[in-house]
Structure formats: structure tokens, C-alpha cells
Amino acid sequence: MFLRLVYESFRRQKRRKALAGVAITLGVAVATAMVAIATDVGDKMSRELRSYGANLLVTPQDDTLDLQIGGVDLKPPSDGTYLNEADLPRIRGTFWHHNIAGFSPMLPVNIDVQGRHLTLLGTYFSKKLTFGKEDFVTGVRITHPWWKVQGTWPDDASQDVVIGESLAAKFDLKPGEEIHIGSQAHRISGILSSGGAEDSQIVAPLSIAQQILGKPGAVRRLYVSALTKPEDALARRDPKTMNAELFDRWYCSPYVQSIAYQLQEAIPHSHAEQIRQVAQNEGTVLSRIKGLMLLVTLAALLASALAVSAAMATAIFERRAEVGLMKALGAGNASVAALFFVEGTLLALIGGFVGFAGGAVLAREIGHSIFGSQITIDPVLLPVILALAVMVTFTGSALAIRRAVKFDPVYALRGEG
């Protein structure tokens, strides 16, 4: 009898049920999408923040002081020690290699062009490397996304170079022309604009710089761009003072400090340091954006809960006459309330399922259109969201049900409400 009542109520009042159902579905869809975005936004933004460039710098351990003023390297080329280019692919073997977006070796050398002292910077543009069975691509096009080239980027295996825009203006050079460095002619494949010191330098594949220097395999500095977790109290501690368990936790968290530690392990005789300008601010900006999205999500959850409650309350108020009839026929308060609660639960479950699916699609679309990558939603969230939907529906209905049940059936049947 009870089941039939519920069934008939759904069959006969399709429009009303649909209205309440739509409210629940929408509420759940928005809640799902917002939770998905809030949990994933940190990860996505951390990738976007990589557009600020490298956050780690690896230098030779016993290097002499840099003599750099305004991007001009005054250090004698014979000075100091170098990293070994052959060691670089080992970065892919570190614990957090998935978090390393890219790296670029740098080797500045001094050259003379038309009687002027210039700096030629050897680097990777978009170089294919192999570590074990894994192939990957790395270079300045990943670690220095603000570098723009008018023309084409040189191939890493070629003798082509790009020249900085202020240098190009000074020498009146255009893409496609040639520049003589020493005895060798190099084709200029493009004009580089970096907004930094490179604007007055020549940037070439690493092997050309090594040739000029006469030191095959030499690398002066290595810029590493890594996805990191905002710094906390554990991150700032000195690993030497930690016990084994704490050290493992520190080592297995993608803090900028622990990634630096692992880079030092991977590359012999090296010293890795966070570039504080990028690394420190990244943490602050990331935590602000994450915090913002979390609070907005909370507000969204609250708003959809209230909206669903209001919709449920209206749906129940509409049915006072029915309550009156049931009570006049001898139904107890408990069974009337039970009927409403079962109906509410059914609506919440159906709306919850549909809303969850809709919310997942919504989150994916938003992820695609804003970040160009998917926002996936954890299926573990489904029971949580369903439970939440049922709870909200219950609390939304409870007050309305209480009032409906208390109402005198006589008035209700006479249609005075």
C-alpha cells in the first residue's frame, strides 16, 4: 500500500516532481562541478604558474662567483667548473620526475662579431632526449615560455641560431641571413624577444657553444621547471636534522627543497637551489587561488543546499489537501511523514545520480575550455554527494512536513491554507 502510494504520487504528479527533481539535479550538478574544480584547481594553476619559468637552478658545486651585470657575463670563460651534459637525462630518473616540466642547460661563451664583444648562449630549444626506455623533449620552449621568436626556432642538431632583438636592430639582421662567428657561418633562423638579457645576445644550440669553448659536454647552469607543493613548516626544515621517518615524508613530498635535494643526488658534483623569486611567490599565489576556490565552493554548496530546500518546501506545501485527505482517512502523522521522506529520498537519489553525471561533464568541459586539460572527478565522491543530496532534501523538507502534518485536515480539505 505504502509503495503504491509512493508510486502513484510519482506517476500522477509528473510536473511537480519534475520541478523538485530539476532543482535537486541542478544543485547536485553545480555542487559536483564546483567540488571537482576546487580539488583540481591547485594542480591546474600550478601548471599555469610554470609560465613564470624555472624555479630551480643547478650549478657546479665548486663554481666561482658569477660576474653578471645586467645579463652581461664578465666571467672569463676558462674560469670555474662545469656540469656534464651527459648527466642531464638522469633527472628523469629522480623520484619526482613526473613533476619536472622541463629543464634547460645554459652555457654562455664570449665571442667577437665584427669587432664587438658579445655573449653567445648555448642551450636546448626543444631537444629530444632518452632516459632508459623513455623519450622526452625539453628545452627553453618549455622552461622559458615568454621567449618569442619571430621566424622559426632553430633545430637543436643544426648550426642555426637566433639573435636577440636589440642586437638584430643594431646589426640590421633579418631572419634567413647569415652571421659569421669565428670562421663559421651560421644561419639566423629567427629574432628572439625575451624582455631580458638575451635580447642582446645570440642564442644557439648547446653544441655550438661547446665547440666555441672547446669543451664538449660542458654546461654552466641548468634551469629546472618543476611542479611543486606550497612550502610548509616541514619543507623548511633541514633534512640533516630529521629522523628517518620524517625524512621519508619530506623526500616523498614535491617541495621545491626536496626536489632540489634529489637533483643534487642525480647530477654529480652539483648544487641545486630554489630560485626564490619564482618558487616562494608561487606558493603564496597558489594558496590564495586555492583558498579562494575553496571558499567559493563552500558558498556554492550552501547556496545550492538552500535553493534545493526552498524547492522541496514549496513542493510539500502544495500537497496539503492530500495530507488532509490521508489524515481524514486515518493515517497517522508518522506514516504521512514517512511517505514524504521516502519520496524525498527517491527524488534526491535520482536527482543526485543525474546531477553527479551532469556535474562531471560540466567540470570536464570547464577544464577543457579554461585549462585545455581534463578535470576528472573521483568516483569516491559519488556516495558523498548522494548522501549530501539526501541530507539536504531531508532538512529542506523537515520543516515543511512538520507544518503540513500539524495542519488541521478540515481546513486543508476545504482548501483554505
Partner 1 sequence: MSSRALVDTRRAEAQHTSMFVRMLVRAAVMRRGRAASALLAMVVAAAAATAMLNLYVDVQAKLRKEFRNYGANVLVVAHDGAVLPEGTLEKVEAVLGGRGLAVPFGYVVARTSDGQSVVVSGTDFERVRRLDSWWSVSGWPKTSRDALVGTRAAAVVSSQGKPFDLTFHGRTIHLTPAGTLSTGAAEDSRIYISLEGFENWTGERPATVEIAASGTPDEVNATIATLREALPRAEVHPVRQIMEGEARVLGKTRSTLVASASLIILTAALCVLSTLMGWVLDRRRDFAIMKALGASEGLISSFFAAEAGALGAVGAVVGFVIGVGVAAWIGRANFHAPVVPRLNVLPWVLGGSVAVALISAALPMSLLRRVQPAVILRGE
Q: Which of residues 96-125 bind partner 1 (CB under 8 A)?
A: none
Smallest distance, Å, CB 358 to partner 1? 11
**Torsion angle of the four alpha carbons 233, 239, 240, 246, in this order, in degrees rounded to the nearest 10:** 80
CA-CA-CA-CA torsion sign (178, 182, 183, 186): negative
Pick the binder of partner 1 from 309, 322, 324, 393 (CB under 8 A). Answer: 309
Nearer to partner 1 by Cβ, of 22 and 331: the residue is 22
- 149 touches partner 1 by CB under 8 A: no
Identify the sign of the CA torsion 309, 311, 314, 316: negative
Instruction: Report the site for partner 1 in 385-414 (rule: CB under 8 A).
Output: 400, 403
Binding to partner 1 by residue 384, rule CB under 8 A?
no
Rounded to whole angstroms, how far apart are CA atoms 301 and 413? 38
Measuring CA to CA, which residue among 365, 356, 295 is closest to residue 30? Answer: 356
141/128 Cα distance (integer angstroms): 12
Nearer to partner 1, 204 or 363 (CB): 363
Please list the residues that pair with 72 across neighbouring strands: 69
Q: Measured from the CB atom, is 139 or 211 closer to partner 1?
A: 139
C-beta closer to partner 1: residue 48 or 159: 48
Helices (H) and strands (E) in the chain, counts: 13, 16
Query: Rounded to the nearest 5 degrees, what angle is found at the Cα of 380, between the Cα atoms of 374 and 385?
Result: 95
Q: What is the C-alpha to C-alpha distance for residues 76 and 93, in angstroms, rounded to an integer?
A: 34
Considering the complex, what minimum distance in angstroms separates the CB of residue 272 from partner 1? 9
Element (H, E) at 279: helix 276-317
Give yes or no for residue 274 binding partner 1 (CB under 8 A): yes
Using the rule CB under 8 A, give the single segment among 182-190, 241-249, 302-310, 336-344 that binds partner 1.
302-310
- First-to-final CA distance of the chain: 28
Cα angle vertex 236, ends 240, 42, to 5°?
130
Q: Which of 11, 67, 174, 184 binds partner 1 (CB under 8 A)?
A: 67
Residue span binding partner 1 (CB under 8 A) among the ranges 176-184, 261-269, 274-282, 322-330: 274-282
Task: Pick the stretch among 151-159, 239-247, 280-288, 333-341 that binds partner 1 (CB under 8 A).
Answer: 280-288
Q: Which is nearer to partner 1, 49 or 208 (CB)?
A: 49
By CB under 8 A, what part of segment 332-371 binds partner 1?
362, 366, 369-371
Question: Which set of grid coordinates corresponds to residue 217?
Answer: 659536454
Residue type, 292: L
Residue 398 dihedral angles phi and psi, to the nearest 5°: -50, -50
Question: Minimum Å distance from CB 52 to partner 1?
Answer: 4
Question: Considering just the CA atoms, what is the radius of gyration of the chain in Å?
Answer: 33
Contact status, residue 141 vs residue 125, Cβ threshold 8 Å: yes
The angle that helices 14-48 and 276-317 make with each other, rounded to 10 degrees, is 180
Minimum gap (Å) between residue 191 Cβ and partner 1: 14
Q: How many chain residues touch partner 1 (CB under 8 A)?
A: 82
Q: Verify binding: residue 293, partner 1, rule CB under 8 A.
A: yes
- What whole-number distance in Å separates Cα of residue 103 and Cα of residue 125? 10
Q: Binding segment for partner 1 among 1-9, 60-68, 181-189, 241-249 (CB under 8 A)?
A: 60-68
By CB under 8 A, what part of segment 155-194 binds partner 1? 193-194
What does the per-residue mask of binding to partner 1 show for 225-254, with x meaning CB under 8 A?
------------------------------
Could you say which of 196, 215, 234, 251 contacts partner 1 (CB under 8 A)? Answer: 196
Span from 81-89, 98-106, 144-152, 183-191 in contact with partner 1 (CB under 8 A): 144-152
Determine if 43 is a binding residue for partner 1 (CB under 8 A): no
